[in-house]
Structure 1
Amino acid sequence: MTLAAQSRDPDDDIADAAALYQFDPQGWALFAWDWGNGDLKDMDGPRKWQADINEEIRQHLNSENRYSPLQIAVSSGHGIGKSAEMGMLSNWAMSCFSDCKIVTTANTESQLRTKTSPEIGKWFRSSITAHWFNVQAMSIKARDNEHSDLWRQDFVAWSAHNTEAFAGLHNKDKIIVLMFDEASKIADSVWEVAEGALTDENTIIIWLVFGNPTQNTGRFRECFRRNRKRWIRRQIDSRTVPGTNKKKLDQWVEDYGEDHDFVKVRVRGMFPSSSAKQFIGTDDVDAAQKVHLRKDQYSFAPKIIGVDPAWTGDDELVIYFRQGLYSKLLMKMPKNDNDVLVANHVMRFEDELQADAVFIDGGHGTGIYSVGITMNRSWQLVWFGGKSIDLGCLNKRVEIWKNMRDWLKQGGAIDPKDDVLYQDLIGPELVPRTDGKLQLESKEDMKVRGIPSPNRADALALTFAYPVVAKEDDGRSNVRTDDRYGSSSNDDYNPYG
């Protein structure tokens, strides 16, 4: 052995390996941990699905698209080792790139502090570069004093009303890694701010989201549906992964059935048909997007317009039309306090379509209604918080949403290109009640969850406020507002046409 070899710092060999595997997280994983020994005694390397994700990253970094954001979404059952993959990738990025910046969040601060952070910290402590980093409860920093504030991983609890930590995520000409754990329950507003922040030029940007698919709404779900072209997607069945409790998983399948939502979410890594509290199931909305109607299938039915004024500056003012099983968005516009202007739009649509009834949300629509009354229009106010004629419903709002849900199940058709309506319909959840009555969560509570106000769905729901028959020859609207929904002198009347 030469003197030079004897005096070489072992860290130099590690640094050489870090340079060699800078664009190869799988190669780094095999190098950096003592596979086959200690806690890894039964493993010879990352699991197959983890190696697959590592390979996707390697291919991206070795391509001409290196500086285009790489977005990977992993939906899985229980126990597949997602936290381990987050730990290995975190250590790879921090070890192989100087001044690496990683931001990690989870569905709750408790999850982040007690599970995500400790698990990732464990992989740092067992890595060959453990001595390079200072692992703390909510951060991991390089021990290099000159770089510790720049070369770091931070565990940041999110808030739908406080997204500054994500808005400031920049690291130009270097590398950014953003990780979401239990991504199903992270608010849409956090996703949106994070997405907008990942815009640095000549920067390696990797966005990784992991989670059990517990929610059938929100941005994590849309990684696999509306936004699927933007994401590399993987759905991992727990039964295909070594180390999971196959006996317990098989018991769940035996008890619930292969296609039960519990098994879909907890075992198969698939999104449920509807979440536990979701009022309108995704399957019903999917079906409604595929309905194609001939005009003779709805032309005989009453023509109804629903008007939902905007509540806040972020909301839409929406005018919707329905005739039997057919529905159409007539107008959407930002919040507008010019009641005369809006009323004129409604009158124009009413005349053009020869509508039989116009229903307006009373919460913020009284001014519009007043203009219509002045113009001799027979419009009706609908108070969402008013008394329901359905004894199983807490108020009018959930009553008309229930009617709309029934309409969807009966073959109602919606625009397949209207993603906003789609999300509006599946967004609201039920509020548990001890008296068994149905109650929808408020718009305010939806916004706390990061879900926007469902204005388009509310406008469509307004068309189910009361039974309607065609106008009399003198033009008078025939709206029935008795407390027996659907009852009239015509015993064969069908409120859905």
Structure 2
Amino acid sequence: MSKPYNVVSTLVELIDLYWDDPVAFAEDMLEFDPDDWQRTAMMDVAEVPLTTIRSGQGVGKTAFESALVIWFLCCRPNPKVICTAPTRQQLHDVLWAEIAKWLEGSKVKQLLKWTKTKIYMIGQEERWFATARTATKPENMQGFHEDYMLFIVDEASGVEDRIMEAILGTLSGDENKLVMCGNPTRTSGVFYDSHNKDRENYRSRRVSSRDSKRTSRRNIAMLESKYGKDSDVIRVRVDGEFPRGESNSFIALEAAEFAKNDVRLQPVGTRLIVGADIARFGDDETSIYGRIGGKTVIERHHHKQDTMQTTGWILRLIDEARAERPEIYEVEIRIDDSGIGGAVTDRLREINEERQLGYIIVPVNNGSSASDEHYGNLGSEMWGCIKSLLEENMSNFILGVPGVLELPDDEKLIAQLSTRKWRMNSNGKIYLERKEDMKKRGLQSPDRADAFVLAYAEVETDSGYSFGTLSI
């Protein structure tokens, strides 16, 4: 005689075994064979509260979302899962139907009851469930409160900000989670911001159709022939990139992400170059980067410390780098000398002379004249140098040549590099967006980006001093 099915004991086993491992749950309970990106993104959801994925078409995001819904329902006590999408067709005919398919063939189908608008734990219909709510009005997303909640937002680029703000306002618990997926069709809104200015708050991923075994190479070739390889249609539908048409960011997000994800360098050389952007007691951040060649070897960021403390940190970081790397024989320190940065420059010069350190100390005024006639000032020219280096990385990759610049794995730095806009003045020169204007747009001051640019730029100052190059 077969052993009776015990729902409680089964749930206890599932929760204990798969609480933080949706990949194993999908493989064992759903017989789902996830692609590499699906595995990585599933673990993102288990580890962090906010996950955002922009992708090309046909990469398997609906199956990915379905597996997460079933995992969360089976591996959290008394959960609520809210699934939404901009249209009823996308929500019910695509996502909700996909969940039904995976549930029907699963080993947990005896636990859950699927209906056209709700999936619930048998015997716990009022508290343990997933529901489908079209993203048409904010009140559809409100009124949900539970220790364990998961919001799945499909085709998130098409969901209005007022809807997304209602969802974000609901996520108040430590175990509340949000997953946004979709083609990156718009360069504004919460979904766009989650991959740009707000990306430090999210675990963000990009999935290209070219990298998926589920997509048709023939269809990709057809789209490229019809619309052009460099068209926004290809960027959005195939490459999972936001369109260029609406964006006027100076440095492309894809170039910054490439330098973080695909470039791996060793610190080759004997010269340590340090860049420091100085703040004091306001909301801005003091940032320090030190690099050897194209590799960052030291960095520090802090708030609300005076200029003497910052001077001490610069010297301490250099000492630590030299202790770890005895081959360093030359040190160059570049300071944003405008405003309070001048105090750091002066003190560094005093200590450099007193201790006979032999460091090269370079005061930099971003507003001074550029050596390149295309730029309106030195600060814009330095950013232009970094833009060129990041784009060179991508060109080198195509040619099979090593990259020249590796970005640290720092979402705040990437966001700051890729959200600063530019304009061309009546004199035909390029100027970067002012920090004051960035703050008016709700962005932070790009302190980390400015320090990074100081460390890596290759330009000349008014005095004719030539910054060091990446080639040692």
User: What do the CA deviations read for 1:426-456 (whole angstroms, capped 9, x no partner)?
Assistant: 3323335554422222334444545433322
Closer/same/farther in 2, CA of residues 466 and 173 from structure 1, 3 Å limit: closer
Structure 2: distance between partners of 1:181 and 1:421: 27
- The TM-score with structure 1 as length reference comes to 0.53
Amino acid at match of 1:363: G
Matched, 1:455 2:447: yes
User: What do the CA deviations read for 1:298-322 (whole angstroms, capped 9, x no partner)?
Assistant: 33xx432111123774443111113
Matched, 1:212 2:184: yes
Look up the SS of the partner of 1:345 in the other structure.
Answer: helix
Equivalent position of 1:481 in the other structure: 461
Closer/same/farther in 2, CA of residues 253 and 319 from structure 1, 3 Å limit: same
Look up the SS of the partner of 1:431 in the other structure.
Answer: strand
Closer/same/farther in 2, CA of residues 325 and 177 from structure 1, 3 Å limit: closer
Displacement of 1:399 after TM fit?
0.9
Displacement of 1:341 after TM fit?
1.5
User: What do the CA deviations read for 1:254-274 (whole angstroms, capped 9, x no partner)?
Assistant: 4532x4250234544721497
Equivalent position of 2:412 in the other structure: 420
Displacement of 1:374 after TM fit?
3.9
Of residues 325, 341, 347, the one that matches 2:309 is 341
Of residues 315, 321, 331, the one that matches 2:290 is 321
Look up the SS of the partner of 1:400 in the other structure.
Answer: helix
Which shifted more, 390-399 or 458-467?
458-467
Equivalent position of 2:29 in the other structure: none
User: What do the CA deviations read for 1:111-161 (whole angstroms, capped 9, x no partner)?
Assistant: xxxxx97xx3xxxxxxxxxxxxxxxxx66xxxxxxxxxxxx437xxxxxxx
Equivalent position of 1:281 in the other structure: 252
Structure 2: distance between partners of 1:306 and 1:211: 37
Structure 1: distance between partners of 2:463 and 2:340: 24
Structure 2: distance between partners of 1:209 and 1:72: 11
Look up the SS of the partner of 2:416 in the other structure.
Answer: helix
Structure 1: distance between partners of 2:365 and 2:421: 20
Of residues 369, 386, 389, the one that matches 1:387 is 369
Of residues 384, 389, 392, the one that matches 1:407 is 389
Of residues 140, 146, 153, the one that matches 2:140 is 153
Equivalent position of 1:161 in the other structure: none
Structure 1: distance between partners of 2:181 and 2:339: 39
Question: What's the Cα RMSD here?
Answer: 5.5
Structure 2: distance between partners of 1:85 and 1:432: 42
Structure 2: distance between partners of 1:58 and 1:347: 51
Closer/same/farther in 2, CA of residues 376 and 234 from structure 1, 3 Å limit: closer
Displacement of 1:460 after TM fit?
1.8
Amino acid at match of 2:452: L
Which shifted more, 206-215 or 277-286?
206-215
Structure 2: distance between partners of 1:200 and 1:357: 45
Conservation of the 8 A alpha-carbon contact between 1:363 and 1:383: no
Conservation of the 8 A alpha-carbon contact between 2:280 and 2:304: yes
Matched, 1:429 2:428: no
Matched, 1:357 2:328: no
Structure 1: distance between partners of 2:160 and 2:344: 37
Matched, 1:306 2:282: no
Conservation of the 8 A alpha-carbon contact between 2:374 and 2:429: yes
Look up the SS of the partner of 2:420 in the other structure.
Answer: coil
Equivalent position of 1:64 in the other structure: 75
Displacement of 1:345 after TM fit?
2.2
Conservation of the 8 A alpha-carbon contact between 1:72 and 1:209: no
Structure 2: distance between partners of 1:390 and 1:287: 26
Closer/same/farther in 2, CA of residues 316 and 103 from structure 1, 3 Å limit: farther
Equivalent position of 1:85 in the other structure: 90
Equivalent position of 1:368 in the other structure: 344
Conservation of the 8 A alpha-carbon contact between 1:325 and 1:413: yes
Matched, 1:263 2:233: yes
Which one has the largest radius of gyration? 1
Closer/same/farther in 2, CA of residues 266 and 172 from structure 1, 3 Å limit: closer
Amino acid at match of 1:212: P
Look up the SS of the partner of 2:343 in the other structure.
Answer: helix
Closer/same/farther in 2, CA of residues 306 and 191 from structure 1, 3 Å limit: farther
Conservation of the 8 A alpha-carbon contact between 1:170 and 1:200: no
Look up the SS of the partner of 2:453 in the other structure.
Answer: helix
Structure 1: distance between partners of 2:388 and 2:288: 21
Closer/same/farther in 2, CA of residues 97 and 333 from structure 1, 3 Å limit: same
Closer/same/farther in 2, CA of residues 178 and 392 from structure 1, 3 Å limit: same
Aligned residue pairs, count: 352
Conservation of the 8 A alpha-carbon contact between 2:308 and 2:344: yes
Structure 2: distance between partners of 1:348 and 1:359: 16
Of residues 379, 385, 389, the one that matches 1:397 is 379
For 1:38-187, list aligned pairs within 5 A: 55-56=66-67, 59-60=70-71, 62-65=73-76, 67=78, 82=87, 84-85=89-90, 92=117, 120=136, 152-153=139-140, 171-172=145-146, 183=157
Closer/same/farther in 2, CA of residues 220 and 339 from structure 1, 3 Å limit: closer
Conservation of the 8 A alpha-carbon contact between 2:332 and 2:361: yes
User: What do the CA deviations read for 1:25-77 (whole angstroms, capped 9, x no partner)?
Assistant: xxxxxxxxxxxxxxxxxxxxxxxx99868855763565233656758798xxx
Conservation of the 8 A alpha-carbon contact between 1:70 and 1:207: no
Unmatched segments (≥5 aa) in structure 1: 1-48, 75-80, 105-115, 121-137, 140-151, 155-167, 241-248, 468-479, 488-492
Conservation of the 8 A alpha-carbon contact between 1:102 and 1:153: no
Amino acid at match of 2:184: N
Equivalent position of 1:15 in the other structure: none
Closer/same/farther in 2, CA of residues 354 and 269 from structure 1, 3 Å limit: closer
- The TM-score with structure 2 as length reference comes to 0.55
Closer/same/farther in 2, CA of residues 92 and 434 from structure 1, 3 Å limit: farther
Amino acid at match of 2:171: A
Displacement of 1:252 after TM fit?
7.1
Identical-residue share of aligned pairs (%): 19
Closer/same/farther in 2, CA of residues 82 and 388 from structure 1, 3 Å limit: farther
Conservation of the 8 A alpha-carbon contact between 1:280 and 1:426: yes
Amino acid at match of 2:345: Y
Conservation of the 8 A alpha-carbon contact between 1:183 and 1:210: yes
Look up the SS of the partner of 2:275 in the other structure.
Answer: strand
